[in-house]
Amino acid sequence: MDLPTGLKQVWREIPADLPEIGGFFQPVRKWLEEESRPGDFVLIQGDFGACYLMAGFAFEKGLVPVYSTTDREVEEERGADGLVKVTHAFRHRIYRKYGI
């Protein structure tokens, strides 16, 4: 099940200058609590502090929080004019459980 569009926006736009973020994404917590059942896997990734708080919330609710691991490949092209073009490629590998 995917997070609804409006809540995706909330999760993606956690203000960088907000000293405490727990209340900001409370609507996401509420949705997760209403839509999930103990034992459900929950993919949690994004803002580090938000992930920490949401993983803890998931554990409290009996959910299984996971995150994606990737291989990263970087290519650099150096132009004659000194311009450096960097390309990053990310390849999903596995989902890893938080806390393990």
- Report if pTM > 0.75: yes
| Domains in the chain, number | 1
- What pLDDT, in 10s, does the model give residues 30-60? 999 999 999 999 999 999 999 999 999 999 9
For residue 100, what pLDDT is reported?
A: 64
Let me know: does 99 contact 59? Beta carbons within 8 Å.
yes
DSSP 8-state symbol, 68: E
Task: Look up the domain containing 93 and give its range.
Answer: 5-97
Q: Is 41 helix (H, G, I), strand (E, B) or coil?
A: strand
Let me know: does 58 contact 80? Beta carbons within 8 Å.
no
- What pLDDT, in 10s, does the model give residues 3-29? 999 999 999 999 999 999 989 999 999
